[in-house]
Structure 1
Amino acid sequence: MQSISDDTEGEKIISTTHSVKSLGSTSDPSTQVIDETQRSLESRHISLLAIGGTIGTLLFVQIGTPLTQGGPGSMLIAFVLWSSVILAFNNCLAEMVVWMPISSPFIRFIDRFVDPALSFCAGWIYFLTQATALPFEIVAFNLILRYWTDKIPVTAMSIALIVIYIFLNIFAVRLYGESEFWLSMGKVILMIGLIAFTFLVMLGANPLHDRFGFRYWQPENVPGAPFAEYISTGSLGRFHGFAACMIQAALIIVGPDYVAIAAGEAKEPRKIMPRAFSATFHRLTTFFVLGAFCVGTLVPFSDPDLVKSVTDPEPGVGASPFVIAMRRLNIKVLPDIVNAMVLTSVFSAGNTYFYIGSRTLFGLALEGKAPKLLAKCNKKGVPVYSVGVMILFSLLAFMQVSEKGTVVLNWLLNLLSSAGIITRAFVSLAYIRFHKAMKVQGISRKELPHRTYLQPFCGYYSMVALIFIVFVYQYPLFLRGRWNTVTFIFSYGILAIVPLLYFGWKVWKKTKIVPLGEIRFFDEERAHLD
């Protein structure tokens, strides 16, 4: 599924500021707002942006959860399969974003290509996903810090983190981009180091001189490997194990939407965005797929320390399969280095959520789906009031000082855990309609500055897979003896929130699904870019 790009010398997308109005389908002048952001993010910033929000505790620590559920074989296959879904989604998003690189693009594409009400729904649930993930990363930072000491006050550290996030996000987007470039580079180095570590120690380069190779993939060494039983026994149990791994993969492997959000602030977007999308997919899938392979090779899925880490995790990276393997091999110092690097990874993830959340809210304001004040930018092109809202959400991190507050924060995270997946499904739908509208209106795909293969198959494939995962996300609840009302409410509550937001806005604003023949392809706005 490679891409095809057309680079024309006459193309000049080099302006540092925008001069286009809101791209919403409404003709009400009161909802039209000027996009005052500036194009100051360079190729190296954009290409590493997705890594900032996707590589963190999920890859370094929580990847042990699917290993215990499905074993190394099921986990590796699941991660490979879900990577194909992300590739399909990446292709859809890349075509639209490279063609029209605007601020908060996919939210606004849904408005133009599907229905403004669906754009309102998708934008707000996506914003809330990022806004609630921010305090979670602050909490995670404090927990990882306890690997060394618990004497640092949680409140003081939370305040320090919030102040740093404000500093990096409020003054200039280039400052954010520069910080994320170096922080994300650290994650890349750490992941490459852990992959190299795996291959060295499995060949015997460890204090025990144990050349264990693929020992933990073999059933004669680890009963049940490489496909573990979960919930049940036999073939059904192995199916449950694989299903659990697929669900975990869907929650862990993300990224292209983070690159898209920054399109409106990228220099020469039609030149750098195709490379950014391609690099994002290859880096993320390589790291996640190889990460799944590595943890399955380093630790047996039934290892008591690994199983305990899922239900009763230690502070810091004590629950990481990589660190558990280091301890098994009597390797010193490296766990401390990994903890330090993961600490910066968590900080980076919080920084990315801060940025993505503010830009999502900014995009909603541009389209008249949030107060116009939130689209106001300072002289550096930073939407300061949207950043201010993210500051308020970051204060939710102080709930961790109370046991009840921590429970509430976890409920919010569970409620919105699949909201990002739903939003991506809506983006895939927007692409399907975009592709159909071009055909209906007789517009050749050759007019696109960037084209991808296997379209519109990628749109259908990613949309069906994403929707399917949302509905089976907590399917074990429906098995005999596993029902839990609270878990059901906070796992599937989003499926009630989505129609409420959609139909509420639809009735209030009297929106309609845009007919394919009436879809406008941003011709008036693209004139400012070409």
Structure 2
Amino acid sequence: MSKVKNLSEDSLKDAKLSPIEGEVIHVSTSMEMLDLEDEPGRLKRDFKARHVNMLAIAGAIGTGLIIGSGTGLKRGGPASLFLGYLFTGSLLMVVLMSLGEMAAFSPMDKAFSGYPSRYVDQALGFAAGWNYFFKYAIVLPANLTAVGLIIQYWRKDLNVGIFITVFLVAIIVVNWFNVKFYGELEFWSAAAKLITLTICFITCIVITCGGSPTNQTIGFQYWREEAFQEYLVDGGTGRFLGWWACVIQACFAYVGSEAVGVVFGETPDPKKNIPKASKQVLFRIAFFYIFGVFILGLAVSPTNPLLAQASGSNASASPFVIAIKTAEIKVLPGFINGCLLIFVGSSANTDLYLGSRTLYGLAKDNFAPKIFLKLNSNGVPFIGCVFTALFGLLAYMNCSDSSAVVFGYFSSAVTVFGILNWLNIMIAYLGYYQMTVVQKVSRDDIPFRMWGQPYTAYYAIGCISLITFFNGYNAFITSFHYKSFITSYIGIAAYLIMIAFWKLYHKTQRVSSDDANALFNYRM
């Protein structure tokens, strides 16, 4: 019969633990241990449960779905788009459920640098943290620009720089107050997203069934005639590349969903609320993404001329709006454009939030200057907010045509960082999982466990690695396009260089699976 050792907060903080053969370590996960919000210098767990739940469902839904899905539909066709989102959604499900398991077992406020550092290697934590920060630091000015372009849908006479300035100041103000204020605003923004998508979905169903002013019943016509489109080359290879294009587009629509893991660091009662929020991911993936692109493929032909001409960030580029225009429905395009303002404004707000929290986490792990640990009276890492907001100034490059081209390349170069973060999460999870096995952690001490592990983790890592390696496939088809190659792979190169630099300079060691201090020390 195995012995059971109960660990108090002090023993977890001070002791260097070495599990003894036949001994099971039991961890007290009481709220007195986990709820450290009153400790000076720590982020406050002031999110409400409904904030976390709504952010888990709709917080990361952005223009990648409501606008970007048109690119996938045009390149691959409705069946390829559906299968691409289904395949990539299965990977995201594994990533987020695995992240939820780690966060429920040992919640921390170190963003995404914390788990790789604790369970794998500090070099990986360093690269993961800065990888995540740079992603949002560059996406922030891109979203600010998109806000301006959306407003120009109504006021083409006004310079986009005006709206960049107004929204940049607005999101700085929002992020300066207690996190409850950010959570409340994002709660209602997420609710507006759900309402918008529901309206789009119902409208597409009505159009498909012949309820539009054209009285045309489409049914499954596009699935029968244009299910798989050829992309770049002809024949079966072209249809496969069309599907792969949909997989890549789906990744960029899904990227950002893992941001709920940062929210977990300021979540009250993490043992209860994190598993609940993690399970709601299934609903979001199944309904808003997979079902969404399914009905989109029913309502819009991949050969629709408006789809081929679509570009930009306003409503005219949305395949849902194209379906509405083709069906000759009035008014709705302007309404959808107004809703897109909420999508993009919310994204810019979240970019600043995530950037500041990521810098805070990096500083806690000694991967960034300690100045980023400073909190204002509202418990907000204000230095990190200001530093991240400075990257928003890059949006003014888009006020000049010549600078906008350079900024476009810059933005494309960092989008792969989002997929790399999924890989970081899964590698950290395998390290965590191996520790729980080696140290014989009781199932009762794990509030929530992702099913099928570790095999689902291996599946996710293998597929995400393939997507990361082949995301720049179009740089090699027909002829070599060096600009596409550079923007597709420079992010990977930077990521590997960061790992190598920290590993060689600091001579870090792989964390051992026997290291109980790494597994149970909540105060790391």
Please give the TM-score of this superposition, normalised by the length of structure 1: 0.90
Amino acid in the other structure paired with 2:442: S
Amino acid in the other structure paired with 2:288: F
Structure 2 residue 524 is matched with structure 1 residue 518: no
Give the equivalent residue in structure 2 for 1:31: none
Give the equivalent residue in structure 2 for 1:390: 388
In 2, Cα distance between the equivalents of 1:10 and 1:314? 50
In 1, Cα distance between the equivalents of 2:445 and 2:401? 57
How far is 1:101 from its partner?
1.6
Give the equivalent residue in structure 2 for 1:414: 412
Question: Matched residue of 1:452: which SS?
Answer: coil
Residue in structure 2 matching 1:115, options 111, 115, 121 = 121
Per-residue CA deviation, residues 280-324 of structure 1 (Å, 9 max, x unaligned), is 332244211122112211111011111121xxx266211111111
Relative to structure 1, the CA distance from residue 16 to residue 438 in structure 2 (aligned partners, 3 Å threshold; closer, same or farther) is closer
1:100-249 to structure 2, matched below 5 A, reads 100-219=106-225, 225-249=226-250
Give the equivalent residue in structure 1 for 2:23: none
CA contact (8 A) 1:256 1:281 kept: no
How far is 1:53 from its partner?
5.3
Give the equivalent residue in structure 2 for 1:257: 258
Give the equivalent residue in structure 2 for 1:429: 427
CA contact (8 A) 1:13 1:267 kept: no
Give the equivalent residue in structure 1 for 2:271: 270
1:342-491 to structure 2, matched below 5 A, reads 342-481=340-479, 483-491=480-488
Question: Matched residue of 1:426: which SS?
Answer: helix
Question: Matched residue of 1:94: which SS?
Answer: helix
1:60-75 to structure 2, matched below 5 A, reads 60-75=66-81
Relative to structure 1, the CA distance from residue 470 to residue 9 in structure 2 (aligned partners, 3 Å threshold; closer, same or farther) is closer
Relative to structure 1, the CA distance from residue 404 to residue 206 in structure 2 (aligned partners, 3 Å threshold; closer, same or farther) is same
Amino acid in the other structure paired with 1:167: V
In 1, Cα distance between the equivalents of 2:477 and 2:34? 57
Relative to structure 1, the CA distance from residue 442 to residue 97 in structure 2 (aligned partners, 3 Å threshold; closer, same or farther) is same
In 2, Cα distance between the equivalents of 1:273 and 1:455? 19
Give the equivalent residue in structure 2 for 1:25: none
How far is 1:51 from its partner?
5.7
In 2, Cα distance between the equivalents of 1:458 and 1:255? 21
Moved more, 313-322 or 374-383: 313-322
How far is 1:104 from its partner?
3.1
In 2, Cα distance between the equivalents of 1:285 and 1:89? 15
Amino acid in the other structure paired with 1:17: E
Per-residue CA deviation, residues 492-511 of structure 1 (Å, 9 max, x unaligned), is 11222122111111222221
How far is 1:415 from its partner?
1.1
CA contact (8 A) 2:36 2:42 kept: no
Structure 2 residue 293 is matched with structure 1 residue 280: no
In 2, Cα distance between the equivalents of 1:10 and 1:443? 17
In 2, Cα distance between the equivalents of 1:165 and 1:52? 19
Per-residue CA deviation, residues 331-350 of structure 1 (Å, 9 max, x unaligned), is 10111111100111110111
In 2, Cα distance between the equivalents of 1:216 and 1:91? 35
In 1, Cα distance between the equivalents of 2:259 and 2:313? 29
Gaps of 5+ in 2: 1-27
CA contact (8 A) 1:35 1:366 kept: no
Question: Matched residue of 1:204: which SS?
Answer: coil
CA contact (8 A) 2:107 2:522 kept: no
Gaps of 5+ in 1: 1-7, 20-33, 220-224
Give the equivalent residue in structure 2 for 1:28: none
Aligned residues: CA RMSD: 1.9
Structure 2 residue 61 is matched with structure 1 residue 55: yes
CA contact (8 A) 1:16 1:267 kept: no
In 2, Cα distance between the equivalents of 1:141 and 1:70? 29
Relative to structure 1, the CA distance from residue 250 to residue 327 in structure 2 (aligned partners, 3 Å threshold; closer, same or farther) is same
CA contact (8 A) 1:229 1:240 kept: yes
Give the equivalent residue in structure 1 for 2:24: none
In 1, Cα distance between the equivalents of 2:406 and 2:38? 40
Per-residue CA deviation, residues 439-465 of structure 1 (Å, 9 max, x unaligned), is 222323332121221111122111111
How far is 1:388 from its partner?
0.8
Question: Matched residue of 2:511: which SS?
Answer: coil
Structure 2 residue 38 is matched with structure 1 residue 40: no
In 2, Cα distance between the equivalents of 1:171 and 1:518? 39
Structure 2 residue 309 is matched with structure 1 residue 308: yes
Question: Matched residue of 1:96: which SS?
Answer: helix
Relative to structure 1, the CA distance from residue 16 to residue 177 in structure 2 (aligned partners, 3 Å threshold; closer, same or farther) is farther
Relative to structure 1, the CA distance from residue 413 to residue 193 in structure 2 (aligned partners, 3 Å threshold; closer, same or farther) is same
Relative to structure 1, the CA distance from residue 201 to residue 43 in structure 2 (aligned partners, 3 Å threshold; closer, same or farther) is same
In 1, Cα distance between the equivalents of 2:292 and 2:384? 35
